[in-house]
Amino acid sequence: MQVDAIPLSIKYKINYPDEFIEAVKRGEIVATRCKNCGSVYFPPQKDCYNCGKNEMEWIKVSNEGEIMTYSIVSQKPQGFENYKDYIIGIVRTKDGINLMAWIKGQPKVGGKVRLTTDDTRIIGEVV
Amino acid sequence: MTRRVAVIGVGNSKFGRRDDVSVQELAWESIKEALNDSGVSQSDIGLVVVGSTAYRGIELYPAPIVAEYSGLTGKVPLRVEAMCATGLAAALSAYTAVASGLVDMAMAVGVDKMTEVDTSTSLAIGGRGGNYQWEYHFYGTTFPTYYALYATRHMAVYGTTEEQMALVSVKAHKYGAMNPKAHFQKPVTVEEVLKSRVISWPIKLLDSCPISDGSATAIFASEEKVKELKIDSPVWITGIGYANDYAYVARRGEWVGFKATQLAARQAYNMAKVTPNDIEVATVHDAFTIAEIMGYEDLGFTEKGKGGKFIEEGQSEKGGKVGVNLFGGLKAKGHPLGATGLSMIYEITKQLRDEADKLQQPLKKYIGLVHNVGGTGHFAYVMVLRR
């Protein structure tokens, strides 16, 4: 016989760098660059695994990009049930950073986008 | 100097929705079969590694429970996890223990009871199979989405079609229908696949493997032990390779194949001193249909970009250049994450022993391969096996 087991509710708290969140609110995307060896990190990291130093500076990422690939999400996961179908894309910026974004407009592999944010996440608007 | 290691016993539970059993009962189904198959008993085994992703079942720490139920208490010091490649991660640990001389016989048990949570919870857990903080949190990725990103680019760069992907599903269901242990035993048509509900375009429901319960077990022994026990049909692990790739999928820089698979395959082929052309039968990780197409390419069965043609030409069918997923694959046989890799070893062992009945690939060299991917290329394992 099947019975209901005791439910497990898990709540997590996680941290993001203030610099990243503030940039997103301004409509900008930022990455970190190692002051010692120049390695650039996106997702941003505090520690440079290339040279082992931890002195980073925040740099602005270009807002011009190209859609490398995308998918239209119909079956949405927890936390996103109330959204209309959304398009997740991978965008390569003019300065060579590859990042995930929601795509607005008609997507095409190789199509150009202008990167901005919606206060929360990175958005690639098809141009 | 490492020792030669053989697979001397395999077991595979019935895959599917298994409300009738607990995780430990499910594990016992394959453990018992593997013990009977090898002729050894629990007390002969020096180390047992349990592979389980566990998060979808009520037992979050299943190793001691599985051990207790199966009479293996005392031999199970760990559980391993490598997302969908958990089965071969467990196999690597067991293999290494025997090859190094630490033990003469080791067992790898893979088990997951994934249907104890509902589909929405399962999708949310799967969608975290990347980098939660920088992906799921903002973008609501699902597991199918990650594979869909590869499918879209493969279609754009190489002209791979949704019809070619559908053929992978049709092949899997055709063979699954002949395997009583498979989750699905019903053939599907290309049209049914193409018309099935879109999950994360271009991936549709019938491009996707099911959420399954199941277990699989393999027992590994040293060459000395194989001789001592007079095992008449050992299957030797002659090559083993493994690799991983970035968690944040955008960072990988290309999205038409898995670098982890390419690296793992090269390592396994070099160790086994074979080429892709020597492989006659294989399991290729087909969590989604595009995965099998990329697998043909990344494993070197065909050139990059020609995976769609490879299935279209029937080269991966039974009797083709390399028989792929002849037990139904993840798509039709099912994909209980922890069990999958060991279930692949089960299949190839049966094939190399000529014990696959209606699903038997005609073999000349008796060289087979198993390929298990974790996440969406986050992990990859490749093993070359020979009779």
Place B208 in a pLDDT band, splitting at 50, 70 and 90. Answer: very high
Dist. CA B97–CA A87, nearest whole Å: 46
Indicate whether B123 pLDDT > 90.
no
Is B19 exposed, middle or buried, given 0-12, 13-18 or 19+ CB atoms closer than 10 A? exposed
Residues B5-54 have pLDDT tens digits of 999 999 999 999 999 999 999 999 999 999 999 999 999 999 999 999 99
CA count, 13 A, side-chain hemisphere, B344: 36
User: What pLDDT score was predicted for residue B176?
Assistant: 98
Indicate whether A1 pLDDT > 90.
no
**In chain A, what residues touch B148 (CB-CB under 8 Å)?**
71
Dist. CA B177–CA B181, nearest whole Å: 9
Is B63 exposed, middle or buried, given 0-12, 13-18 or 19+ CB atoms closer than 10 A? buried
Indicate whether A55 pLDDT > 80.
yes
Q: Strand, coil or helix: what is B203?
A: strand
Q: Which of A5, A71, A83 sits opposite B152 (nearest CB)?
A: A71
**Other Cβ atoms within 10 Å of A82 Cβ, number:** 6
User: What pLDDT score was predicted for residue B7?
Assistant: 98
- Respond yes or no: is residue B209 known to be catalytic: no
Dist. CA B281–CA B239, nearest whole Å: 15
Indicate whether B235 pLDDT > 80.
yes
One of B154, B173, B285, B335 is an active-site residue; which one? B335
Dist. CA B171–CA B311, nearest whole Å: 9
Only one residue has tokens 């989405």, namely B145
**In chain B, what residues touch A79 (CB-CB under 8 Å)?**
124, 140
Answer whether B199 sits within 8 Å of A75, measured CB to CB.
yes
Residues A93-126 have pLDDT tens digits of 999 999 999 999 999 999 999 999 999 999 999 9
- Which one of B116, B118, B138 makes the best mutation probe of the A interface by having the most chain A beta carbons within 10 Å? B138
- Per-residue DSSP letter, A7: P
Indicate whether B64 pLDDT > 70.
yes
User: What pLDDT score was predicted for residue B114?
Assistant: 97
Q: Strand, coil or helix: what is B195?
A: helix
Mean pLDDT, rounded, for B272-300: 98
Q: A with B: how many residue pairs have Cβ under 8 Å apart?
A: 108
Give bridge partners of residue A101 from the DSSP assignment: A89
Indicate whether B1 pLDDT > 80.
no
Mean pLDDT, rounded, for B331-341: 98
Place B124 in a pLDDT band, splitting at 50, 70 and 90. Answer: confident
B150: amino acid identity, one letter: Y
Dist. CA A93–CA A113, nearest whole Å: 9
User: What pLDDT score was predicted for residue B252?
Assistant: 97
- Which of B213, B203, B165 minimizes the C-alpha distance to B333? B213
> Is the complex ipTM higher than 0.95?
yes
- Which of A121, A66, A43, A47 minimizes the C-alpha distance to B247? A43
User: What pLDDT score was predicted for residue B120?
Assistant: 83
Place B385 in a pLDDT band, splitting at 50, 70 and 90. Answer: very high
Helix (H) or strand (E) holding B307: helix B307-312
Is B144 exposed, middle or buried, given 0-12, 13-18 or 19+ CB atoms closer than 10 A? buried
Q: Which of B131, B156, B201 sits opposite A74 (nearest CB)?
A: B201
Residues B126-172 have pLDDT tens digits of 888 899 999 999 999 999 999 999 999 999 999 999 999 999 999 99
Q: Which of the pair, B267 or B123, is modelled with greater confidence?
A: B267
Mean pLDDT, rounded, for B65-79: 97
Ordered strands of the B213-222 beta sheet:
B78-80, B47-51, B105-113, B213-222, B5-12, B235-244, B379-386, B367-374, B281-283, B323-324
Answer whether B139 sits within 8 Å of A90, measured CB to CB.
no
Answer whether A83 sits within 8 Å of B140, measured CB to CB.
yes
Predicted model pTM: 0.97
Q: Which of B120, B133, B198 sits opposite A78 (nearest CB)?
A: B120
Name the minimum distance, in Å, from the CA of B62 to any CA of chain A. 16
- Which of B91, B147, B109, B142 minimizes the C-alpha distance to B23? B109
Dist. CA B308–CA B222, nearest whole Å: 40
Work out the percent of chain A whose per-residue pLDDT is above 90: 94
B213: amino acid identity, one letter: D
User: What pLDDT score was predicted for residue B127?
Assistant: 87
Interface of A with B in 93-112 (CB under 8 A): 98-102, 109-110
Task: List C-alpha distances in Å: A93 to A25, A64, A107, B322.
Answer: 19, 6, 16, 41
